[in-house]
Amino acid sequence: MNVIISGGGTGGHIYPAIAIANELKRLDPTTNILFVGAEGKMEMEKVPRAGYTIEGLPVVGIQRSLTLANLAFPFKLARSLRRAQQIVRDFKPDVAVGVGGYASGPTLLAATRQNVPVLIQEQNSYAGLTNKVLARWAKRICVAYPGMDAFFPADKIRLTGNPVRSDIQLADQQVEAGRVQFGLANRDAGPVPTLLVIGGSQGARTLNESIEAGLPQLMAAGVQVVWQTGTGFIGRANEAVAKAGATNVHPYEFIYEMDRAYAVADVVVSRAGALSVSELCLVGRPAILVPFPDATDDHQTKNAMALVERDAALLVRDQDARQNLVTEALNLLTDSAKKENLSKQIKLLAFPNAASDIAQEVLKLTSRNKLV
C-alpha cells in the first residue's frame, strides 16, 4: 500500500502525522509512506529524523497584513499544484492523508484529481481554512473534538482524537528518569513541587517573560521549574536565572523527552495548541492554559475553552499572564483538591487509541483493508 501524508508548518501538525505513519507501518510494515511538506518549514527536518521520505512544495500562506510577499502567493500556489500532481502521478498512492498546513491543500487537490481517496485529520476545535476547503472532496474527516459538524459534513466525521507519540502514554513510568535528567531535588518529606512550562516547539514569549518576571516568587515558594524557552529566549532565561540565583529553575531550549517532563510535573503551564492539549489529556496533569491570541481564528482559545468548560483546565489570558500567571500556578500547586479534580476531568477527554483509530480509517478507504 502507498500512502501520501501531507501538511505541517508546526509541531502540532507534524507529530500527529508521524504518529499516523508509525501506526500504518505497525499494521503493515510493507506500507510505503511519502510525506509532502512545505519548503523551508520544520517538517523538512523533523520527518526525515523520524525515518520517512519527504518532498517539498514551494507553497506559502497568505499574510493577513498587506505585504508585497502576497504578490508571490498565486505563482507559488500554481507551481505547488503542478509539483503535487507530478508527485501523486509518480508515487501512485492508494490513499492521501492531510493533516493541515500549507502543503496539504495542493497535495490533496492533486490526489482528488487523480481519483485517490482522501482523509483529513483536523486537530483543533475550530477547523482550519485548508481543511474546510478540502472537506468537500474528503471521504473521511477525523476530528479531535465533538461538534465539528459546524464545519464539516456530519456523515464524513469520525471522532478519533489527536494522535500523539506513543512514549507520552507511558509518561508515568518515567518519573525517576525524569528527576535525574532535569536535576530535580527532594526534601525529607518527598519530592519538591515541580512546575513545567512549555510554549510549543518555538517557545512562547509571553510565558517566558511571565516566568522571568516571577522568578522571585518562584524562589520564595521553594518550587522547582522545568522551563522550555525555545531557541530565541534561552540566553536571556539563563542570564535571568543566574542573576536571580534561582537554582530551583531549570531552563531548556527544547525538551525532546517530553514523557519525562510530564512525568515530573505537578502542574503544567502551556499554550493551547492542539497537540499540547491532547498530550495533557493523556498524561492527566493539572494544567493552566495560556492561549496564543494571534492564532488563526483564535483557535487556541477555543481549544482551551473546550477543557475549561468541562472543569478540566484553568485559563489565563495572554494579556494577563505577566501579572497573574506565576501567582495562579503557585496557588494551584498548593491546592491538592483542585489539582486532583483537574487531573480527573482532563483524563476523561483523552483519546489513547487515536493513532490506531485514524490508521484504521485510512485502511477503510483502500482496497487493502483486510487488516481492519
Q: Around Cβ 232, how many Cβ atoms within 10 Å?
A: 12
Q: Around Cβ 120, how many Cβ atoms within 10 Å?
A: 29
Q: Is 226 annotated as a binding residue?
A: no
Q: Are 288 and 328 in contact (CB under 8 A)?
A: yes
Nearest to 30 by CA among 372, 371, 364: 371
If 0-12 CB within 10 Å is exposed, 13-18 middle and 19+ buried, where does residue 67 land?
Answer: exposed
Task: Round to whole Å and give the CA distance between 138 and 93.
Answer: 15
Q: Is 165 annotated as a binding residue?
A: yes
Q: Is 80 annotated as a binding residue?
A: no
Query: Is the dihedral angle over the CA atoms 153, 154, 158, 163 positive or is it negative?
Result: positive
How large is the greatest C-alpha to C-alpha distance in the chain, in angstroms? 66
Query: And the C-alpha cell for 13?
Result: 501538525
Q: Is 276 annotated as a binding residue?
A: yes
Beta bridge partners of 119: 97, 140
Q: Is 20 annotated as a binding residue?
A: no
Q: Is 10 annotated as a binding residue?
A: yes
Query: And the C-alpha cell for 305?
Result: 475553552
Residues 6+ apart with CB under 8 A from 188: none
Task: Round to whole Å and give the CA distance between 322 and 219.
Answer: 17
Which residue type sits at 153?
P
Q: Are 152 and 141 in contact (CB under 8 A)?
A: yes
Query: And the C-alpha cell for 32?
Result: 510505503
Query: And the C-alpha cell for 147?
Result: 461538534
Q: Cα torsion at 172, 18, 272, 305 (round to 10°)?
A: -90
Q: Is 279 annotated as a binding residue?
A: yes
Length of the chain: 372
Query: And the C-alpha cell for 352?
Result: 489513547
If 0-12 CB within 10 Å is exposed, 13-18 middle and 19+ buried, where does residue 280 land?
Answer: buried
Q: Is 124 annotated as a binding residue?
A: yes
Q: Is 12 annotated as a binding residue?
A: yes
Q: Is 141 annotated as a binding residue?
A: no
If 0-12 CB within 10 Å is exposed, 13-18 middle and 19+ buried, where does residue 189 land?
Answer: exposed
Binding site membership: which residues?
Answer: 10-12, 124, 165, 201, 255, 274-279, 300
Binding site membership for UDP-N-acetyl-alpha-D-glucosamine: which residues?
Answer: 10-12, 124, 165, 201, 255, 274-279, 300
